Copies of this chain bind each other. A is one copy, B any other.
Amino acid sequence: MKRNGLTLILVGLLSLGLASLAVAGEKRISKQTKECLSCHAAMPGVVSQWEHSAHWDAGVGCYECHQAQKSDADAMDHYGFTVAVIVSPKDCSQCHPQEAREQMASHHAEAGNILNSQDGLLGQTVGGAPAVVVGCRQCHGSIVKVNEDGTLDTNTWPNTGVGRVNPDGSKGSCSACHTRHRFSKEQARQPETCGKCHLGPDHPQKEVYEESKHGILYRAFKDDLNMDQPKWVAGEDYYDAPTCATCHMSATPDQPVTHDVGDRLSWNLRAPVSMRTENHEQKLAKMKDVCSACHGSPFVEGFYQQLDGAVGLYNDKFAVPAKDIRDLLIKEGVISKANFDDQIDWTYWELWHHEGRRARHGAAMSGPDYAWWHGFYDVAKAFYNHLLPEVKEACEKAGKPELYERIVQTYIEGRPEHEWYVKGFDPKRVQEIKQYYQQRYHQQVQ
């Protein structure tokens, strides 16, 4: 953006005032931090970022955060100072105890555990350890290891994963979202911040948000949202668009900000089969309170009925039958109990972990293209065009074609939602469609 000459003049005039403020700020910088700065001026990015931060203004500098006890696992002697590279949530909690407590109670703090899941197994065995280092762990967090010489094991650091297990035992990394060394609230509230990890084939929240009205309005009115203000209450300090933070974390007139990101989630939309979260009524009430800053209650109630319908469809038509069919194949010895050694394992895995999440997240955050084309359409294709034919083939290979017959009888036939798969489409409808294409495109479509 071009700045005109006037701005420069005005900035000049203002400088006198700002200069005295600056002196005040600088006075607060500790003697130790000043010593740090005398060398680390050679990292101008870090220093400048910090100088533009609330930390600088409050006199919180290098030493205040990086100082360590000699007994700390990752303490090191650094030109006479005892410091640590990693500043953990435990360190931050000295000034921000409430935020640290909430984060500690959240799913985020446990994100490292996911690496004990199928995702982790896939990463470590099917992928390989170095892929886990540059992939999984950069979001989920590593278990940071300190080498015998006091340096950090590079298989585990650099890492700012949100569930990082730190040498002091604390979990998480505040700079996962509050990027060092500016620690900007404005930056942390932007959807891109969450989008570092919440994107892609298995949880495309960023893509869904960007498609949604919420994301569209954010792009249009970002400059009106006062995102740099300390107090940031929806419906008091901004009115035109929510970010991820608005709905999941930030304050409303009736509830405070929270760093427990699951505090307003009434559905678990990540699991193979979706179910309500614990205390879901309270969590739902909190979320509806956010909605009400901009939406009337018929809209909010209608939205949730549409969401609940979509989650029910996913569960009942696709997720539960797929799970039951696979369980049955394992029980009958058609496929092995082991994971990911049969094509059916992979198909089922992506059905719930990839396509099924896209359908549910698309519905939950009002991204119609994700709900349908990347979501239910892909779920249905996986179910009908991949899973069922693979089940048939596996049964035949195992010499149990009658098992497939039984599966079709139990899970498909007689179920109105799967009727088309057995009986085909209603010929009358198909005829109408052909006429529609004939009119629309002036061409025959079989």
**Chain A, 221-272, CB within 8 A of any chain B CB:** 221, 223-224, 228, 234-236, 239-240, 268, 270-272
Q: Which residues of B contact A445 (CB under 8 A)?
A: 118, 272
Known: A184-B220, A217-B187, A376-B131. A154 touches B346 (CB 8 A): no
**Chain A, 74-108, CB within 8 A of any chain B CB:** 85
Known: A139-B369, A193-B216. A113 touches B436 (CB 8 A): yes
A424 within 8 A of B: yes
Q: Is the CB of A128 within 8 A of B45?
A: no
Q: Is the CB of A307 within 8 A of B134?
A: yes
A433 within 8 A of B: yes
A411 within 8 A of B: no
Q: Is the CB of B275 within 8 A of A443?
A: yes
Instruction: Among A131, A239, A362, find the residue whose CB has the most chain B CB atoms closer than 10 A.
Output: A131
Q: Which residues of B contact A377 (CB under 8 A)?
A: 122, 126-127, 135
**Chain A, 422-437, CB within 8 A of any chain B CB:** 424-425, 427, 429-430, 432-433, 436-437
In Å, the complex CA distance between A186 and B217 comes to: 11
A202 within 8 A of B: yes
Q: Is the CB of B385 within 8 A of A343?
A: yes
Q: Is the CB of A17 within 8 A of B43?
A: no
Q: Is the CB of A134 within 8 A of B363?
A: yes
A309 within 8 A of B: yes
Stretch at the interface among A279-287, A298-306, A391-399: A298-306
**In the complex, what's the smallest C-beta–C-beta distance from A355 to chain B, in angstroms?**
12
**In the complex, what's the smallest C-beta–C-beta distance from A117 to chain B, in angstroms?**
6
**Chain B residue at minimum C-beta to C-beta distance from A51:** B239
Contact of A134 among B157, B306, B338 (CB under 8 A): B306
Q: Which residues of B contact A134 (CB under 8 A)?
A: 306-307, 309-310, 362-363, 366, 368, 371-372
Q: Is the CB of A211 within 8 A of B196?
A: yes
Q: Which residues of B contact A210 (CB under 8 A)?
A: 192, 195
Q: Is the CB of A429 within 8 A of B131?
A: no
Q: Is the CB of B339 within 8 A of A213?
A: no
Q: Is the CB of B436 within 8 A of A117?
A: yes
Known: A4-B14, A179-B213, A236-B44. A424 touches B338 (CB 8 A): yes
A-B contacts besides A44-B293, A131-B310, A340-B425, 18 pairs, CB < 8 Å: A44-B236, A85-B296, A116-B436, A127-B376, A134-B366, A135-B371, A138-B368, A139-B369, A158-B303, A184-B220, A192-B210, A193-B216, A196-B212, A201-B373, A271-B440, A271-B443, A273-B441, A346-B385
Q: Is the CB of B372 within 8 A of A154?
A: no
**In the complex, what's the smallest C-beta–C-beta distance from A369 to chain B, in angstroms?**
4
Contact of A326 among B201, B212, B343, B446 (CB under 8 A): B446
Q: Is the CB of B340 within 8 A of A432?
A: no
